[in-house]
C-alpha cells in the first residue's frame, strides 16, 4: 500500500501559502543583498574531479589533484567538519554534496515553510519497504538533499537527549580505548561548543549551562499560541513538571516551550548557515562541490581508502578525486551504509547477492537501523485557537492576516512565519514510575501492572515525548483536514527496541536503497506507545486544554473518542497511522566489532584504513530526544579527534 507520491503540492504542513513563500523569498533576497559575491563559491564535478578511465588525466597532477580529506555529503555533520578542519591551514579539504546550497531557497530559511522542501528536488524522497508493524504500509522518509543536509529541512526543534544517553554510549564500548570521551562528562563540552543561546524576553530560561560562543544560534520562535500555554498547564495538572530548560545536566524530564535553531532575524539556522559562512568558504584550503553524487569509495590493495568516484547524473561521466589522509563519510543514516555497501564493505551475504567485490566483510553495516515513530492525535478546537488561519488563508480577512504576518516577518523577524508549530515538548517516562503506573505500567510484579523491559539509558530518563501543535494534518502535511479548527498532540516513542536495516536493491548507486526500520515489531514498543496515546487523550481532557477543545465537532479524522477505546483498538489505529519523526540513526554504529560495530571510538571504520564516519549513523543507541544537536556535537568531537591524529 503506497500513498500517492505526487500529491498536489497543497502542502499544509508546510502550512504556508505560495504567496508567503514568494514574499519570503523577496525578503530573504533583500536581506542577503548586501553581501556581495566575490570569489567562486561552489564547484561542479568536472571542475574538481578527473574523468575515470581517462589515463592521461588520471596521471596528470593539477593543483586540485588531491585533498587531505574528502568529505562525502555536505550535510548536518559535514558542515561542522568543513569549518573546523580548515582552520588548520595545512589541511586541504573537499566536500562533495549531491544537492545545492540552501542560501537562496526561502523554504530552507523561513521556519514555517520547512516542509515545502519535501518531495521536491531538494529531497531524496525515500520510502520504507512495507512495514509489518504498520499494516504493511510503506512510509515516506524525507531526507533533505542540500548543503546543511537535514538541518536545512528539519523541524528546528533543539534538544540534546538525556545526559545518561551518552554515559550509556560510553558503557556500550566496554572499556575500549577512547570510550570515556563519549560519556556525558567528556562529551558535554561538544554539546555546548556549537551553540550560542539567544535568550527570549518572554521565556525565562537559565543560561549558565547553555553555549555562549558557538556558531549555531538557538532561541525561541517569535510566536506562541494559547494552545501551547494550555498544554503546559495541563501537563502540570497531571504531574508533569514545567521546567525552563529540558536540556541541562539536571536531565530532560518535564514540559517546556520548544527551544529552536533560529536566529534573532527569525531565520532557520542550518549548519550551512552557521558553519559555512562566506569567510569559511573563502578559505583557500576548502572547496565545496555541489550537485555531485558520490557512487563509490575506492581502496588500494592494502584496503586503504584512496579517494571517491562521483557523477552528476546516472549516465554522465564519472570522476575521481584522491584523498591523501582520509575519506570521511557524512552522508547520513541512509546513504552512509548504502555507500559502504556499494564500495564493498558490509555483510558478505549482502555484497555477494549483488556481485559487489568484497573489500572488507563487515557484518554491522546497515544493521541496527533505529528511528523514532510518532502518532498524532487530533482534536477539534474552538474558534481562535488555530494557527492555520494565518498560514493557510481562505477568505479575504485571513489573507489580510497572512499579509500582516509576512510584513511582521520581514520587518521584525517574528510572528507566525517563525513557527514550525511544535510549540512545546514534554519528556515523560511511561514504562514504570508514577506516570507509567497510571497507564498500566509497573516497576515490578508487586505493583500489579505490566512490567516492561527497560530500554532507557537510566532511571531518570524518558521513554516518550509529547508535543503539541495548534494545527492538524495527515501524511506530513500532504493531506489537509477539512475541518475549520484543530490541534494535535503527538506521541513519540523515544527508546524503541525494534530495529531494522538499510540494504541495497541492486548494485546501481542511483537506485534507492531498501529501508526497513521494522517499526513496532516488539511488544515493548507497542505497549509504551499505546500508553503514550492514552496520555495524549488524558491531556486533552484536562483543564485548561479541555476548555479549548470543541467536543461538539464530529469528524472521522478526529480523535476525541480514542480514550474510550480498548488497548487492542488503539493498537490497530496506531498501526494504521503511525509515521516517522525523521530521526534514523545507528546504521553504522560505534560499538565493538563483535557487537556489530562499524566504527571504533575514533569513528574509524573497522578493517580498513583512511575511512571515518561522522554523522547520525554512528550513534551506538538513539538518543532520547532529537538527533540534530547530538549529530552536530559528534562532528565537533570528530574534528578534534582528527586534528589530534595529524
Ligand atoms: C523533516 C525532518 C524533521 C526533523 N526535525 C528535527 C528536529 O526538529 N530536531 C532535531 O534535532 N532533528 C530533527 N531531524 C533530524 C535531524 O535533522 C537529523 O538527524 C540530522 O540532521 C542528520 O544529520 P546527518 O549529518 O547525519 O545527515 P544529513 O544532514 O542528512 O546529511 C547527509 C548529507 O549527505 C548528502 N548525501 C547523501 N548521499 C550522498 C551521495 N551519495 N553523494 C553526495 N552527497 C550525498 C545529503 O544530500 C545530505 O546533505 C529532522 C529531520 C527531518 C528530515
Ligand atoms: C595504499 O596506500 C597507502 C597510502 O598511500 C600506501 O602506504 C600503501 O603502500 C598503498 N598500498 C598499495 C598496495 O598500493
Ligand atoms: C515590529 O515591532 C514593533 C515593536 O514591537 C511593533 O511596534 C511593530 O508593529 C512591529 N511591526 C510589524 C509589521 O509587526
Ligand atoms: C504530526 O503532527 C505534527 C504537528 O502538527 C506535524 O508536524 C507532523 O507532520 C504530523 N505528522 C504527520 C505524519 O503528519
Ligand atoms: C535488534 O533487533 C533484533 C531482532 O531483529 C534483536 O535481536 C536485537 O536485540 C535488537 N537490538 C537491540 C540493541 O535492540
Ligand atoms: C542534557 C544535555 O545534553 N544538556 C545540555 C544542554 O545544552 C547545554 C549547552 O547548551 C549543554 O551544556 C548541556 O550539556
Say if residue 12's pLDDT is above 50.
Answer: no
The whole-number average pLDDT for the span 430-455 is 87
How far is the C-alpha of 287 from the C-alpha of 310, rounded, in Å? 15
Q: What percent of the chain has pLDDT over 70?
A: 89
Over residues 65-105, the pLDDT tens digits come to 799 999 999 999 999 999 999 999 999 999 999 999 999 89
Say if residue 259's pLDDT is above 80.
Answer: yes
- In this prediction, residue 450 carries a pLDDT of 81
Say if residue 427's pLDDT is above 60.
Answer: yes
How far is the C-alpha of 525 from the C-alpha of 401, rounded, in Å? 43
The whole-number average pLDDT for the span 376-402 is 74
Over residues 573-582, the pLDDT tens digits come to 999 999 999 9
Tell me if residue 22 falls in helix, strand or coil: helix
Domain 3-127+270-366+586-645: CATH superfamily is: FAD/NAD(P)-binding domain (3.50.50.60)
**pLDDT-based confidence at 123, cuts 50/70/90?**
very high
- In this prediction, residue 8 carries a pLDDT of 32
Residue of minimum CA distance from atom 14 in ligand 6: 188
Q: CB–CB of 69/328 below 8 Å? A: yes
- Phi and psi of 441, rounded to 5°? -90, 170
Instruction: Indicate whether residue 96 lines ligand 1 (CB < 6 A).
Output: yes
Q: Give the ligand at the shortest distance from the Cα of 142.
A: 1
- In this prediction, residue 250 carries a pLDDT of 72
**pLDDT-based confidence at 385, cuts 50/70/90?**
low
- In this prediction, residue 248 carries a pLDDT of 67
626 labelled catalytic = yes
**pLDDT-based confidence at 11, cuts 50/70/90?**
very low
- In this prediction, residue 59 carries a pLDDT of 54
**pLDDT-based confidence at 155, cuts 50/70/90?**
very high
Q: Give the ligand at the shortest distance from the Cα of 45.
A: 1
> Can you tell me which atom of ligand 6 is nearest the CA of 192?
9
Lowest-pLDDT range, 42-46, 442-446, 491-495? Answer: 442-446
**pLDDT-based confidence at 489, cuts 50/70/90?**
very high
Domain regions of the chain by residue span? 3-127+270-366+586-645
Higher pLDDT pick, 420 / 599: 599
- Phi and psi of 79, rounded to 5°? -65, -35
User: What's the farthest any 2 CA atoms get from each other in the chain?
Assistant: 77
| Top mutation candidate among 157, 159, 160, 183 for ligand 6, by most atoms within 8 Å of CB | 160
Instruction: Indicate whether residue 580 lines ligand 4 (CB < 6 A).
Output: no
**pLDDT-based confidence at 558, cuts 50/70/90?**
confident
Dihedral of the CA atoms 467, 469, 471, 477 (nearest 10)? -50
**pLDDT-based confidence at 529, cuts 50/70/90?**
very high
- What letters, b where the CB count within 10 A reaches 16 and e where it falls short, cover 274-285? bbbeeebbeeeb
Over residues 351-373, the pLDDT tens digits come to 999 999 999 999 999 999 999 99
- In this prediction, residue 447 carries a pLDDT of 78
Over residues 196-249, the pLDDT tens digits come to 999 888 887 777 778 889 999 999 988 888 899 999 999 999 999 999 877 667
How far is the C-alpha of 631 from the C-alpha of 379, rounded, in Å? 34
Higher pLDDT pick, 64 / 105: 105
Amino acid at each position: 500500500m503506497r500513498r500517492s507520491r505526487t500529491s498536489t503540492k497543497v502542502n499544509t504542513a508546510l502550512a504556508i501559502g505560495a504567496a508567503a513563500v514568494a514574499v519570503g523569498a523577496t525578503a530573504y533576497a533583500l536581506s542577503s543583498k548586501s553581501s556581495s559575491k566575490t570569489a567562486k563559491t561552489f564547484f561542479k564535478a568536472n571542475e574538481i574531479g578527473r574523468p575515470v578511465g581517462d589515463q592521461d588525466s588520471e596521471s596528470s597532477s593539477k593543483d586540485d589533484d588531491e585533498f587531505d580529506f574528502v568529505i562525502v555529503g555536505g550535510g548536518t555533520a559535514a558542515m561542522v567538519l568543513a569549518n573546523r578542519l580548515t582552520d588548520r591551514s595545512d589541511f586541504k579539504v573537499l566536500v562533495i554534496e549531491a544537492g545545492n546550497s540552501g542560501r537562496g531557497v526561502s523554504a530552507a530559511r523561513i521556519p514555517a515553510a520547512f516542509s515545502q522542501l519535501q518531495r521536491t528536488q531538494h529531497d531524496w524522497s525515500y520510502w520504507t519497504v512495507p512495514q509489518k508493524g504498520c499494516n504493511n504500509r510503506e512510509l515516506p522518509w524525507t531526507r533533505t538533499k542540500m548543503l546543511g543536509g537535514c538541518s536545512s529541512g528539519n523541524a528546528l526543534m533543539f534538544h540534546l537527549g538525556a545526559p545518561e544517553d551518552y554515559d550509556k554510549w560510553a558503557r556500550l564500548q566496554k572499556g575500549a580505548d577512547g570510550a570515556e570521551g563519549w560519556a556525558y562528562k567528556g562529551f558535554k563540552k561538544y554539546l555546548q561548543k556549537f551553540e550560542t543561546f539567544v535568550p527570549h524576553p518572554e521565556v525565562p530560561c537559565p543560561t549558565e549551562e547553555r553555549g555562549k560562543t558557538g556558531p549555531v544560534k538557538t532561541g525561541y520562535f517569535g510566536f506562541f499560541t494559547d494552545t501551547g500555554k494550555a498544554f503546559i498547564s495541563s501537563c502540570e495538572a497531571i504531574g508533569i513538571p514545567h521546567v525552563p530548560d529540558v536540556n541541562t545536566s539536571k536531565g530532560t524530564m518535564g514540559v517546556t516551550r520548544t527551544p529552536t535553531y533560529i536566529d534573532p532575524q527569525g531565520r532557520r539556522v542550518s549548519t550551512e548557515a552557521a558553519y559555512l559562512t562566506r569567510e569559511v568558504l573563502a578559505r583557500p584550503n576548502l572547496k565545496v562541490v555541489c550537485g555531485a553524487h558520490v557512487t563509490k569509495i575506492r581502496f588500494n590493495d592494502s584496503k586503504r581508502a584512496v579517494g571517491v568516484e562521483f557523477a552528476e547524473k546516472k549516465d554522465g561521466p564519472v570522476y575521481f578525486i584522491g584523498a591523501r589522509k582520509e575519506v570521511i563519510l557524512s552522508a547520513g543514516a541512509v546513504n552512509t551504509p548504502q555507500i559502504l555497501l556499494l564500495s564493498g564493505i558490509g555483510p558478505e551475504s549482502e555484497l555477494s547477492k549483488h556481485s559487489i567485490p568484497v573489500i572488507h566483510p563487515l557484518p554491522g553495516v546497515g544493521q541496527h537501523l533505529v528511528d523514532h515513530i510518532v502518532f498524532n492525535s487530533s482534536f477539534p478546537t474552538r474558534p481562535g485557537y488555530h494557527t492555520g488561519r494565518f498560514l493557510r488563508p481562505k477568505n479575504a480577512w485571513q489573507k489580510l492576516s497572512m499579509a500582516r504576518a509576512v510584513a511582521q516577518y520581514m520587518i521584525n523577524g517574528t510572528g507566525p512565519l517563525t513557527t514550525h508549530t511544535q510549540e512545546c515538548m514534554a519528556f515523560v517516562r511511561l514504562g514504570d514510575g508514577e506516570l507509567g503506573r497510571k497507564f498500566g505500567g509497573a516497576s515490578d510484579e508487586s505493583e500489579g501492572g505490566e512490567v516492561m523491559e527497560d530500554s532507557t539509558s537510566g532511571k531518570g530518563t524518558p521513554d516518550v515525548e509529547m508535543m503539541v501543535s495548534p494545527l492538524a494534518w495527515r501524511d506530513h502535511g500532504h493531506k489537509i483536514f477539512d475541518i475549520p479548527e484543530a490541534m494535535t498532540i503527538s506521541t513519540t516513542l523515544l527508546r524503541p527496541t525494534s530495529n531494522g536495516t538499510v540494504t541495497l536493491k541492486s548494485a546501481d548507486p542511483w537506485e534507492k536503497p531498501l529501508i526497513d526500520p521494522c517499526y513496532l515489531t516488539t511488544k515493548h514498543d507497542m505497549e509504551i506507545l499505546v500508553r503514550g496515546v492514552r496520555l495524549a487523550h488524558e491531556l486533552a481532557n484536562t483543564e485548561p486544554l479541555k476548555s479549548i477543545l470543541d467536543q461538539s465537532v464530529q469528524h472521522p479524522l478526529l480523535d476525541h473518542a480514542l480514550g474510550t477505546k480498548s488497548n487492542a483498538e488503539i493498537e490497530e489505529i496506531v498501526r494504521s497511522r503511525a509515521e516517522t519523526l525523521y530521526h534514523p540513526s545507528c546504521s553504522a554504529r560505534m560499538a565493538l566489532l563483535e557487537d556489530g560495530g562499524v566504527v571504533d571510538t575514533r569513528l574509524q571504520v573497522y578493517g580498513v584504513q583512511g575511512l571515518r564516519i561522522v554523522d547520525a549513523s554512528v550513534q551506538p543507541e538513539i538518543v532520547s530526544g532529537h538527533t540534530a544537536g547530538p549529530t552536530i556535537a559528534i562532528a565537533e568531537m570528530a574534528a578534534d579527534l582528527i586534528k589530534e591524529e595529524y
